[in-house]
Amino acid sequence: MGTALKVTTFQQRFSDLFEESEKTIMTLAKELHVSNQTVSAWKTGARSPKEPTIIAIAKHFGVSVEWLMGFDVDKEQPKEQDRKIVIPDSELFKKITEHMSYDDYQTVMAIYSKTYERMKEEGLI
């Protein structure tokens, strides 16, 4: 499988989504929990959001993060079942975590904790 090339910018893709949504800057800012000035800066390309915000914007509009970032990939956000991670060998995963650096282990545990909390909020566990 080849690597997708970057064909446009976040600013262009965000502007297109904004125009398609037919929302006001104020409405979109409220929905994304940012200021009107922030939405305006994204729209004009004066600023770009950080990764967690890009993920939230993609989720809000139902598009893939890669597409929003300007890559030549499908616009549609992957379906939930396509994003599930299957660990076929839990013993191997345990062994891998034993050999991770401290920082890598902390990252994995932070993701685990965040996912666990989200699942509790959604009533999945």
**Tens of pLDDT, residues 45-97:** 999 998 889 998 998 999 988 999 988 888 887 655 455 666 667 788 788 88
pTM: 0.59
Q: Own/partner pairs for 48-55, CB < 8 Å, 24+ apart?
A: 48/10, 48/11, 49/10, 54/10
Model confidence band, residue 101 (pLDDT cutoffs 50, 70, 90): confident
**39-47 own/partner pairs: CB under 8 Å, 24+ apart:** 42/10, 42/11, 42/14, 43/11, 43/14, 43/15, 43/18, 44/11, 45/9, 45/11
Amino acid letter, 123: G
**For position 88, what pLDDT does the model report?**
67
**Alpha helix stretches (DSSP H) within the chain:** 10-21, 25-32, 36-44, 51-61, 65-68, 90-98, 102-121
Longest dimension (CA), the chain: 52
42, 49 Cβ separation under 8 angstroms:
yes
Integer Cα distance of 121 and 52 in angstroms: 20
